[in-house]
Amino acid sequence: MKPIQQEPSRSGRERENLLGKLKEAQKKFGYVSREFIAETARSHGLPISEVYGVTTFYSFLSTRPLGKYVIRICKSIPCYLKNADMIINSVALETGIRPGQTTADGKFSFELTNCIGACDLAPAMLVNHEVYGPLTPGKIAEILKACK
Amino acid sequence: MPEKRIILKNCGVIDPGDIHTHLAHDGFKAWEKARNEMTPEAVVAEIKTSGLKGRGGAGFPCGLKWELARREPADEKFLIANADEGEVGTFKDRHLLRHDPFTLIEGMAIAAYAIGAKKAYIYLRAEYHYLLEGLEVAIDQVKQKGFLEHLDMEIHEGAGAYICGEESALMDSIEGKRGEARYRPPFPPTKGLWGKPTVINNVETLMNIPTIILQGSKWFRGIGTEQSKGTKLFSVSGDVKKPGVYELVLGSSLQELVVDLAGAKSIKMVQVGGATGGIIPYSMITTPLAYETVLGSGAVTVFDESREILDFLHRTMEFLAEESCGKCTPCREGTEAMMEILGRLTTGDGKQEDIQALEDLSATMKLSSLCGLGQAASIPVLDTLKYFRNDYETRIKQSVFLRSLRGML
């Protein structure tokens, strides 16, 4: 095994781009793989556990492959008050998957998320980086249909 | 007290994609005044005198924060605009970033000059990725006009974590770590990002700066109450006819906001300040919104009479347990334990002792948690125990009765 190279840190700021790098991998591959974590740890002179710890801390980074379209439905109180449960059910119905799952064809991943700052549009969701609201089951069908 | 547009004055008026429309509305006049007519010390003094306090939730005096960082000898200092608006029910900064990015950049130009920072970050939450491009365009335009020669400005995008809105966790996140709260002291103005003096201000706080510099601290002090100067943005959601962002003079009543402006009817209670915000029952609806009473981030969530207290609390605690960074035990374990108890109460398995357990846990968490998340997690529990104790006791009595029936069958 190749020894881990640990460059003496000059400014201690080599890690600044770590999150960016992990996000790039997420964007490019749809997840942050074990291999990528190990490789990044090596190139930054950090323990693998450290990079894994960072990866799993943030909800927009995933260690399992996500679909082309990631649906994130807000489950926080303001959306809940506006019947987010109905939206959760109708996304489940449309996609055939439950929160935490990805469709077999890799098209959709379905996640529940905390407040996305769209409470005036409640019930709201993000599909990748687009925000949608106020949602109805009818609108859900329309939005998901437009995802090619 | 009336609605007053100080922070929102440009929203819907200027074109956020064209700096010329901003310049036509006094844009960057405050920065020019600060740069040409005032020393950094004078800018700090002006903000200190204005009485401006932080708008993100904690309400720390802005001028004092700046002064601490200004006085700290260091080869390098940082300014961070906290645009990690993750507080539940808060969306005012989203509105500001989308409709008036220039005033934020101007406020940051002035703040950086005042504290002596040459590098500034905007920490933007990942959920607001759709605002990134607009912000980048705005920064470019400001640069091209020559207003940012003293300052390197960079947008740092988060990756999804509520706790990163907490300033010490936010700095750890920029440093490429898990966003975990730090032990304090030292406080950021002394030792912040990479151990250097750092000022972290909320977007709305920074957007107050240009107007204060232009109109003067005396003018600003004339608005609001004794301890709460200026106006405040409120994000109103929940059981209201017209959810949205409203700007009111501090000290205006909750009734004016939720009933007169947002059109709420048959109110049971209002939570002010987000997930860990205080609970105001309808009987106290005339409560003024100010630092002296309730304010927080200005999140205002309205619950009508059909809403169940325990159901709401259980969901809130689930959220806090999920978002606790896990570094300190009182918060990590306390939020979990509270979630379990509240879940038990919700599903009809509660016991009389549960109320006492919630109170005991609250006291410990408040006293010994590392940051605001754990310290404030129990506020909605304690407030509802104060105003809606009956809801708890009735539920427990019913549960005990139903369980006794079950035992007989």
Instruction: Flag whether B278 is in a domain.
Output: yes
Instruction: Flag whether A5 is in a domain.
Output: no
Instruction: Flag whether A79 is in a domain.
Output: yes
Which residue among B281, B304, B327 closes a domain? B304
Same domain, residue pair A74 and A53: no
Same domain, residue pair B300 and B313: no
> Which of B88, B130, B154, B318 has the most A C-beta neighbours within 10 Å, making it the best mutation to test the interface with A?
B88
Instruction: Flag whether A63 is in a domain.
Output: no
Same domain, residue pair A81 and A25: no
Same domain, residue pair B280 and B172: no
Q: How many domains does chain B have?
A: 3
Return the H-helix or E-strand segment holding A110: strand A108-113
Tokens of B399: 């549960």
Instruction: Flag whether A140 is in a domain.
Output: yes
The Cα A131–Cα A139 span in angstroms is: 13
**Where residue A33 falls among pLDDT bands split at 50, 70, 90?**
very high
Residue ranges making up the domain that contains B274: 231-304
Q: Which of B21, B7, B53 is nearest to B245 (CA)?
A: B7
CATH number at residue A82: 3.40.30.10
Same domain, residue pair B156 and B211: yes
Which residue among B187, B221, B255 closes a domain? B221
Same domain, residue pair A45 and A76: no
Instruction: Flag whether A11 is in a domain.
Output: no
Same domain, residue pair A33 and A95: no
Comparing alpha-carbon positions, the chain A residue that sits nearest to B126 is A60
Of the partner residues A80, A114, A118, the one whose CB lies closest to the CB of residue B91: A118
Q: CB–CB of B256/B1 below 8 Å?
A: yes
Tokens of B184: 């304090």
Chain-centre distance for alpha carbon B377: 15
Same domain, residue pair B211 and B159: yes
Instruction: Flag whether A1 is in a domain.
Output: no
In sequence order, the 6+-apart residues with CB closer than 8 A to the CB of B233 are B7, B8, B55, B92, B95, B96, B204, B245, B246, B247, B298
Cross-strand pairs, B246: B234
Q: CB–CB of B207/B103 below 8 Å?
A: yes
Residue A144 pLDDT greater than 80, yes or no: yes
Sign of CA dihedral A37, B327, B373, B311: positive
Which residue among B304, B335, B361 closes a domain? B304
Same domain, residue pair A82 and A52: no
* A vs B: CB pairs below 8 A: 121
Same domain, residue pair A111 and A80: yes
In sequence order, the 6+-apart residues with CB closer than 8 A to the CB of B139 are B101, B105, B148, B153, B155
pLDDT in single tens digits along all 409 residues of chain B: 668 899 999 999 999 999 999 999 999 999 999 999 999 999 999 999 999 999 999 999 999 999 999 999 999 999 999 999 999 999 999 999 999 999 999 999 999 999 999 999 999 999 999 999 999 999 999 999 999 999 999 999 999 998 999 999 999 999 999 999 999 999 999 999 999 999 999 999 999 999 999 999 999 999 999 999 999 999 999 999 999 999 999 999 999 999 999 999 999 999 999 999 999 999 999 999 999 999 999 999 999 999 999 999 999 999 999 999 899 999 999 999 999 999 999 998 999 999 999 999 999 999 999 999 999 999 999 999 999 999 999 999 998 888 888 776 5
Instruction: Flag whether B3 is in a domain.
Output: no
Contact B159 A13 (CB under 8 A): no
Residue B377 has phi, psi (to 5 degrees) of -55, -30
Tokens of A112: 């529940």
Q: Which of A124, A123, A131, A139 is nearest to A82 (CA)?
A: A123
Same domain, residue pair B144 and B29: yes
Same domain, residue pair A91 and A129: yes
Q: What is the pTM of this model?
A: 0.94
Same domain, residue pair A77 and A128: yes
Same domain, residue pair B162 and B79: yes
Residue ranges making up the domain that contains A25: 17-57
Same domain, residue pair B155 and B176: yes
Same domain, residue pair A47 and A73: no
Contact A15 B175 (CB under 8 A): yes
Residue B288 has phi, psi (to 5 degrees) of -75, 145
Instruction: Flag whether B95 is in a domain.
Output: yes
Same domain, residue pair A99 and A132: yes
Q: Is B253 exposed, middle or buried (0-12, 13-18, 19+ CB in 10 A)?
A: middle
CA distance B52 to chain A (A): 25
| Set of chain A residues whose Cβ sits within 8 Å of the Cβ of B161 | 57-59
Return the H-helix or E-strand segment holding A19: helix A18-29
Tokens of B377: 């997690």
Same domain, residue pair B318 and B202: no
Same domain, residue pair A47 and A80: no
How much of chain A, in percent, has pLDDT values that exceed 90? Answer: 88
CATH number at residue B351: 1.20.1440.230
> Which of A115, A116, A126, A131 has the most B C-beta neighbours within 10 Å, making it the best mutation to test the interface with B?
A115
Instruction: Flag whether A9 is in a domain.
Output: no
Torsion of CA B237, B241, B247, B251, to 10 degrees: -90
Antiparallel, parallel or unpaired: β B299-304 and B267-272: antiparallel
Of the partner residues A58, A82, A129, the one whose CB lies closest to the CB of residue B130: A129
Instruction: Flag whether B404 is in a domain.
Output: yes
Tokens of B203: 């977007």
Q: Which of A71, A33, B249 is nearest to A41 (CA)?
A: A33
Complete edge-to-edge strand list for the sheet that includes strand A125-127: A108-113, A69-74, A125-127, A130-132
In this structure, how many other beta carbons lie within 10 angstroms of the beta carbon of residue B391? 17
CA distance A23 to chain B (A): 8
Instruction: Flag whether B9 is in a domain.
Output: no
Tokens of B28: 């960057």
Instruction: Flag whether B2 is in a domain.
Output: no
Same domain, residue pair B97 and B202: yes
Instruction: Flag whether B6 is in a domain.
Output: no
The residue written with tokens 């500001």 in the block is B96
CA distance A22 to chain B (A): 10
Instruction: Flag whether A3 is in a domain.
Output: no
| Set of chain A residues whose Cβ sits within 8 Å of the Cβ of B299 | 119
Q: Is B335 exposed, middle or buried (0-12, 13-18, 19+ CB in 10 A)?
A: buried
CATH number at residue B38: 3.40.50.11540
The Cα B62–Cα B51 span in angstroms is: 8
Instruction: Flag whether B1 is in a domain.
Output: no
In this structure, how many other beta carbons lie within 10 angstroms of the beta carbon of residue B66? 26
